[in-house]
Amino acid sequence: MSAGTRADTSGTSIAVRSTKYLSRIALRWVVLVALIGSWQLATVNLSSPYWVPPFTIIRRVAELWLTSGEGILSTSMAQDVLPSLARMLGGFLLAMVLAIVVGVAIGLSDAFGDYVDPILQFLRAAPPPALIPVFLVVFGTGDQTRVSLIAFGAAWPILLNTIEGVRSIESIKYETSAVFRIPLRLRLTHIVLPGAASKILAGIRTSLSIGLILMVISEMVASSSGIGFRIVQAQRSFALVDMWAGILLLAILGYLLNQVLTVVERRILRWHRLAGHETS
Amino acid sequence: MLVVENLSHAYGTGTHRHLALKDISFSVNEGELVSIVGPSGCGKTTLLRAMAGLMPPTGGQIRFLGEPITGVPGGLAMVFQDYRGSLFPWLTVGDNVRFPLHTAKLGKAEVAERVGESLAAVGLTNFEGRYPTQLSGGMQQRAAIARALAYRPKILLMDEPFASVDAQTREDLEDLVLQVRDRFNMTILFVTHDIDESVYLADRVVVLSKPPTYVLTTLDIDLPRPRDQIMTKELPEFIHLRSDVARLIRRPDTSELAVTS
Amino acid sequence: MLVTLCLLQVLSWSGLIPTTMLPSAAQVLADTVGLFGNTEFLLDVVATMEAWAIGLAIATAIGVPLGLVLGSLRVAYEVSSVVVEFLRPIPSVALIPLAILLFGQGTEMKASLAIYASVWPIFFNTLYGVRDVNPISKETARTFRLTPFAILRRVALPHAAPFILTGVRISAAIALIVTISAELLAGSSAGIGAYVLRISSGGGSTSMVFAGTVVAGVLGVLVNSVLQAAERRLFPWKHVEKAA
């Protein structure tokens, strides 16, 4: 629009931009180091048993993760991290598949959608942790309980977003594909899923954090393995370094899962953009 | 009233320095309607932002009422091209007009009077309670003008205010500017890329070059007032003036000689 | 809705699923109605709501100003983003044991977890809302000589308000989950989580647990629809835009 803004971007050289970028990264590291440093100082000086110095926690995490116990993996990896991850991914994938399939079906049929909407809204609002006892009765104390609880809790945001995403596709696209007599299977993969992709991904993001919450809480309430179990165990036996190490472990796990999702999201949405470009 | 002296502005630094404004000098006297016209991309918006005190220029000086401009001065109002961004969507038309009056420490009666008067002047009296998004583009720009009027500025800067409305609405709004100018005795600086518009409205037209921008020439417009969209634009003088400006903008090097000689 | 309930009822009559697992809809409904006459349970609901409301209120009081400031000051954001990225991935429930150690088993503990869980959506929505402000809006305010603080209050805040309310709505759902989780785990003396714990350890019927969840779900739906209604009332311009 204005000459000013255009000149502004072309005028900033790559060199200037990259030095800015580097100084930003440097700034972030400085802040991070300062943060951990002052946390260390504060906890050492506070000498409260509850607040463990960060270096002690980090050392403990390294110990738990990197020293080998059973084979190549450390005991903590084999007994806590892997079971937790397996439950999380199992429940999450189950939720994803079910929610997207059901969501597309509901989204495509108006009558059915209107009819199930109040139930879905209600089920989404019902807090899944309160159902843990029910899940224990139904599925027993095995991993089934935890996986199904995670799946149950994580399904709603994906389901509701899928329905919304499918409904937001303009009818002209359906009409066009009807005119060209595109078979249903192609309509699903080329119109419905790409059209709803960004909404579905937003739902998946919410579900990821809910799934993580449910993984932890189910392990805390009824389990004999997993990071959640380990944290509660540590708290009850007053092993505070272990408790903090567990929290840090969960933070790292949460961060990594989020990173993976971001990468997947970027890939899918790029493909989505390209596909949109081709057809238009 | 407003004096621009040897104004220049560059974006970026070092080898990537881009000179947008080279050397610009002109002035606006009290009660004048001056329009600035130039080819698109000639830095009109940069110039106006510098005059409004929104952005410090890298060279030269601007004085408003004798004082050099360092920040946004009092007694200045601006109407932007982008009325969607400029009007606040969460406020009704009336509240948008009232918006700048909060800082002026006025009594309630005075505020109400100014709002009523300004809305009446732009023909929006019955739309005070509507939200901007409920109005057409032309009406939104009227509301933005009303807001500037209620502020009672000494000078009104207008940055291509009618570039995003349709042709019919545009003519109506041009006449609205002339009406409010007579009624409130305003000093107006009007930036546009539309040659007809610049000549039709102004007492004086400042013609800018392509970037790096300088003032090609300043033309006095001696067309009779009140102006009329059909009659004024039929006058041979109007046609002559608009052709001069057009030639200057299209081929500045040759036509500059033709006009000045 | 009704049809589904009838279907569930028929399913339980048919005897395909034992009632210990999936109690009949009529039974749950009856138990739910019964709960409203149960003073102890009503006190549980009040206890949960209290921690939930306190948590949400404090999270809003922290998240909104923080989002406003960090959303409008690039440097402040750069500096603090490290802290944000550091803290955000910690699942709120992972902090339950720590909160129990620090605050005991009462409202303080539950509210502190609810604050931690709900501050993020509110903060990020405020931040996005502030960043979304049209630069021309800010320049307009500047030409009318508003101070930076006045611009924050009179331009950035109103623009971000609908975003903020959406954040509060998301937070409300998460805070409820976290509050009830905390009650379950800490063995709190009162709260919906405490009720569920009492019923299940006392050998109560599954349908009573379902009834408790139904009430919690109804509460969630109620709060959600109240906030949605507030959205429509408070931000009418959002809707005229859609209608236009």
Higher local confidence (pLDDT), C104 or A271:
C104
Query: How far, in Å, CA of B217 to CA of B260, rounded?
Result: 8
Please give the residue range of the domain that contains residue C102: 27-243
In chain A, the number of structural domains is 2
pLDDT confidence of residue A62? 83
Q: Which tens digit of pLDDT belongs to each residue from C29-46?
A: 888 888 888 888 999 999
pLDDT at residue C67 tops 60: yes
- Using 50 as the pLDDT threshold, list the residues of chain B that sit under it: 254-261
Neighbours of C (≥3 Cβ pairs closer than 8 A)? A, B
pLDDT confidence of residue C211? 85
| Contact of B114 with B48, CB cutoff 8 Å | no
A215 plus A264 within the same structural domain? yes
**Residue C132 contacts B, CB cutoff 8 Å:** no
Higher local confidence (pLDDT), B83 or A124:
B83
Please give the residue range of the domain that contains residue A21: 3-47
A157, part of any domain? yes
State the burial class of residue A85 (Cβ atoms within 10 Å of its Cβ: 0-12, 13-18, 19+). middle
pLDDT confidence of residue C30? 84
A168 plus A252 within the same structural domain? yes
Q: Which tens digit of pLDDT belongs to each residue from C178-193?
A: 999 899 888 888 899 8
A103 plus A181 within the same structural domain? yes
Predicted confidence band at A158 (pLDDT cuts at 50, 70, 90)?
Answer: very high
- Residues of C with Cβ-Cβ distance to B80 under 8 angstroms: 136, 139-140
CA distance to C137, C158, C163, per residue, from C235 (Å): 18, 9, 11
C45, part of any domain? yes
CATH number of the domain that residue A82 is part of: 1.10.3720.10
Query: How far, in Å, CA of C114 to CA of C94, rounded?
Result: 12
CA angle C99, C101, C106 (to 5 degrees): 65
| Contact of B193 with B245, CB cutoff 8 Å | no
Q: Which CATH number fits domain B2-75+154-260: 3.30.540.10, 3.40.50.300, 1.10.150.530, 1.10.3730.10?
A: 3.40.50.300
A69 plus A36 within the same structural domain? no
DSSP B72: P
Q: Which tens digit of pLDDT belongs to each residue from A184-235?
A: 888 888 888 888 888 899 889 889 888 998 899 888 887 788 888 888 888 8
> A242, A259, A250, A248: which is closest to A39 by C-alpha?
A248
CATH number of the domain that residue C42 is part of: 1.10.3720.10
Bridge partner residues of A145 (DSSP)? none
Percentages helix, strand, coil for chain B (3-state, rounded to 5) are: 45, 25, 35
A121 plus A184 within the same structural domain? yes
- Residues of A with Cβ-Cβ distance to B44 under 8 angstroms: 2-3
Predicted confidence band at A3 (pLDDT cuts at 50, 70, 90)?
Answer: very low
Task: Quote the ipTM score.
Answer: 0.84
A130, part of any domain? yes
- Residues of C with Cβ-Cβ distance to B54 under 8 angstroms: 139, 142-143
In chain C, the number of structural domains is 1
> B105, B10, B18, B2: which is closest to B56 by C-alpha?
B10
A159's tokens: 């389901």
pLDDT confidence of residue B257? 46
C152, part of any domain? yes
Mean pLDDT over residues A107-132, rounded?
77
Residue A93 C-alpha, separation from nearest chain C C-alpha, in angstroms: 19
A102 plus A226 within the same structural domain? yes
Lowest mean pLDDT among A146-150, B79-83, C79-83, C131-135: C79-83
A17, part of any domain? yes
pLDDT confidence of residue C186? 85
Query: Among all chains, which residue has been given the structure tokens 């009660």?
Result: B31
A83 plus A209 within the same structural domain? yes
A100 plus A68 within the same structural domain? yes
pLDDT confidence of residue A11? 43
- Residues of C with Cβ-Cβ distance to A254 under 8 angstroms: 89-91
**Residue C145 contacts B, CB cutoff 8 Å:** yes
A137, part of any domain? yes
Nearest-CB residue to C143 (from B78, B102, B133):
B78
CA distance to A19, B204, B218, per residue, from B199 (Å): 48, 8, 12
CB contact under 8 A, A134 and C192: no
A40 plus A71 within the same structural domain? no
> C95, C94, C88, C96: which is closest to C120 by C-alpha?
C88
A35 plus A83 within the same structural domain? no
